[in-house]
Homo-oligomer: A and B are copies of this chain.
């Protein structure tokens, strides 16, 4: 029996180096796009439609959609929502459709469309993703959204957490990025906030007072939900 294989890709920029068609791809942008998607879908949002540009989000908004847009960590002027996961859990969004454009997360999602299936992962639904992958796939790539196409620490440790759980279930890896992710998660898991204290994201967004959001994103297994990106371009629950 060939054992099931885990890979980690550190940035959407690296996607051309990977063959995706036989793999589930789990997109991770933990601070904060995929955490917002998981929190929203986990709290009863019906659909989230990811779009690349702010202009696309505006076009949806002008047609009456609830639209969320974030750039450089802040809500884009003229939008009622950015990518704060806490705001996605509000009761008023239950059963609604939200259109979402974010800096890195939606870009990663839209670049992975060659995959067999595209899932949305975060600490918030870590175990739900792992169990779903284990039951339904033979190969998975965790795709870190990164920051401006570069490696970032926060998405990497989420990938490492999920990869480790799969390896404990008998999956294997021959991918050094996966090994590095698991080892970085080993170091981070006792205190993610402390581990991230000198990370670039922390410094970059310090002026935005995101402490509450970041603490929310660092919670493990709040939602037993597996959001996936369907052929119509919508993210819905499995």
List residues of A whose CB falls within 8 A of some B CB.
10-11, 13-14, 17, 147-153, 156, 174-177, 179-180, 183-184, 186-187, 198-201, 203
Total identical chains: 2
B180 contacts A184, C-beta separation under 8 Å: yes
B200 contacts A176, C-beta separation under 8 Å: yes
Q: Which of B14, B180, B200 contacts A153 (CB 8 A)?
A: B180
Q: How far is the CA of A177 from the CA of B13 in the complex (A)?
A: 15
Q: How far is the CA of A168 from the CA of B235 in the complex (A)?
A: 46
With A10-B10, A13-B14, A17-B13 known as contacts, the answer to whether A151 contacts B174 (CB < 8 A) is no
**Closest residue to A175 on the B side, CB-wise?**
B200
B176 contacts A183, C-beta separation under 8 Å: no
With A153-B180, A180-B180 known as contacts, the answer to whether A174 contacts B187 (CB < 8 A) is no
Q: List 15 A-B contacts (CB under 8 A).
A: A10-B10, A14-B150, A17-B148, A17-B149, A150-B175, A150-B176, A150-B177, A151-B176, A153-B179, A175-B200, A176-B199, A179-B198, A180-B180, A183-B187, A187-B187
Top 6 closest pairs, chain A to chain B, by CB: A151-B177, A153-B176, A152-B176, A176-B200, A174-B200, A151-B176
